[in-house]
Structure 1
Amino acid sequence: MAIGLNVTEPEGTCSHEDCPFHGNLSVRGQVLEGEVASTDMDKTIVVEREYDVFVPKYDRYMKRRSRVPAHQPDCLDVEVGDTVSIAETRPLSKTKSHVVVEVTDGGDA
C-alpha cells in the first residue's frame, strides 16, 4: 500500500493499526531524517537530529540537537545508531507525533 512518500515498503508484515504500511495511520507534513539515539521504550524510539545555528555575536556556527520521539512499527527493525526517516502524523500519545517510515542506513555499515 502506498503511503504517499517515496520510500521502500518494508519486507516484514505487521497487523498493528498504527503502521503506515499495514494499518490505517496516515502521514502528512514534514519528513525528517536523524540517528536513532534510544530504543528502550516499547514501540517508541528517540531520533536525534543535529543542526548548526549561526551566532552573530561570534560570527560562528554552534551545534544544536533535537530529540524527537517516534512510533516504531513492528515491521521495521531499528537499532541504536541507525539512520531513519520519520514522517509527521496525528498525535499518537502525549509526546509522539511522528512515525518511522524508512531505515536508510545502519550505524556500522
Structure 2
Amino acid sequence: MALGLNVQEPDAVCDDDNCPFHGTLSVRGQTIEGTVASTDMDKTVVVEREYDVPVPKYDRLMKRRSRVPAHAPECLDLDEGETVTIAECRPLSKTKSHVVVSREGGDD
C-alpha cells in the first residue's frame, strides 16, 4: 500500500517529478474511478465516468457523464478502455488537478 490509499505501487520505475510513487507529488482529497477515454495528449489521459441523475418529473434516472483530465505517470502504461483510479492533487496545469494512481485488469 502506498500514498495512504489502497493501491499497489507499480513495478516499473520512472523519473517523473509529478509521479505520486517515484516523484514529489502528494495526493489529497477525492478519488474517482473511471474509464480511460483518450490517451492522445502527452503525459495526460482523459478519464470518463458515468453516473445517474434523478429526473423527478418523469420519475426516472438520466445518465450523465463527466470527463476529467489526469496526469499519467510514466511508470503506468495506460490504454483506452481501461478502468483506472485517479486521485486529486495540486493543480498541474490549467485543467489538470488529478493523477492516475492505479489501473485494474493488468500488471501495474
Give TM class, smaller chain.
Answer: over 0.9
Q: Residues of 1 paired with 2:6 and 2:54: CA distance?
A: 32
Q: Residues of 2 paired with 1:24 and 1:6: CA distance?
A: 19
Does residue 24 of structure 1 match 2:56? Answer: no
Count of paired positions: 106
Where does residue 4 of structure 2 map in the other structure?
4
- In structure 2, give the amino acid aligned to 1:95: T
- In structure 1, give the amino acid aligned to 2:26: S
Q: CA RMSD in A?
A: 1.1
CA contact (8 A) 2:2 2:8 kept: no
Q: Residues of 2 paired with 1:75 and 1:11: CA distance?
A: 8
- In structure 2, give the amino acid aligned to 1:3: L
- In structure 2, give the amino acid aligned to 1:81: G
Identity among equivalent pairs (%): 74
Where does residue 89 of structure 1 map in the other structure?
89
Where does residue 46 of structure 2 map in the other structure?
46
1:2 Cα deviation after fit: 2.9
- In structure 1, give the amino acid aligned to 2:105: D
Where does residue 15 of structure 2 map in the other structure?
15
Task: Write out per-residue CA displacement over residues 7-49 of structure 1, whole angstroms, 9 at most, x where no aligned residue.
Answer: 0000100011000000000000001000000000000000000
Q: List structure 1 runs of 4+ shifted beyond 4 angstroms.
A: none
Unaligned runs of 5+ in 2: none
Unaligned runs of 5+ in 1: none
